[in-house]
Chain A
Amino acid sequence: ETGVTQTPRHLVMGMTNKKSLKCEQHLGHNAMYWYKQSAKKPLELMFVYNFKEQTENNSVPSRFSPECPNSSHLFLHLHTLQPEDSALYLCASSGGVSSRYEQYFGPGTRLTVT
């Protein structure tokens, strides 16, 4: 596998379910990101990890819980979501936490909360 992969690609869950999104990067990068892309809204940065340490949490509700066990893997644990959380969730990675490095994105997980 190359680049940034995300699983699952599609997920439908009820408001009481617990699920996890997985992201893996094969680029040797040190920084990983979670973004949310809702219809008709700009991409929103949710979380940033640099060398496994969380450096950013953009006021994301606690029903979203990130986990970064190492520089290659990033998870987003979901529980008691709301219908308005339905969106495309994109993972990205970069060589470092700086704009000197471009971010490479995965294909996203299309989440539908029913």
Chain B
Amino acid sequence: AQKVTQAQTEISVVEKEDVTLDCVYETRDTTYYLFWYKQPPSGELVFLIRRNSFDEQNEISGRYSWNFQKSTSSFNFTITASQVVDSAVYFCALSSGAGSYQLTFGKGTKLSVIP
């Protein structure tokens, strides 16, 4: 069985603050993929990143960075110098097992960035 836990239901930060969204996953497979998606109020899920289980390098893309730690089964997402446009619901997802395509989503974290 696979599971994704996003313990933070809602977070509010003031603009320009840094914020980290937590994601903890469970799987028995050694091959798996982790994803982050952003869902703004418009409803569309926007793909942010995919990580496979064999690549533990952290990644930075502009103000976004991701910290993948297999030892703690976590794939956390940090936004640096947050902006109002970052306000959205962020979902972490897991696809487990070679050849699998089914995404197991967490319940999401609603981020509100206050001007």
Contacts and interface: CB of A to CB of B under 8 A. Distances in A.
A108 B44 contact: yes
Interface residues on A, range: 20 to 34
B44 A103 contact: no
Nearest to A56: B102
Nearest to B96: A99
Interface stretch (B17-25, B69-77, B78-86, B103-111): B103-111
Q: Could you tell me the dominant secondary structure of chain A's interface residues?
A: loop
B42 A102 contact: no
B25 to A, nearest CB: 13
Nearest to B93: A43
A74 interface: no
B91 interface: yes
Nearest to B104: A42
A106 B108 CA distance: 18
Contacts, number: 53
B99 interface: yes
Contacts of A81: none
A91 B30 CA distance: 29
B33 interface: yes
Interface string B90-103: 01000100011111
A43 B103 CA distance: 9
Interface string B1-39: 000100000000000000000000000000011010100
24 contacts: A42-B4, A42-B104, A42-B105, A42-B106, A42-B107, A42-B108, A43-B91, A43-B105, A45-B102, A88-B43, A98-B100, A98-B101, A99-B33, A99-B101, A99-B103, A101-B101, A102-B47, A102-B50, A103-B47, A103-B103, A105-B47, A106-B44, A107-B43, A108-B44
Interface of A: 31, 40-43, 45, 48, 56, 88, 90, 92, 94, 97-108, 110
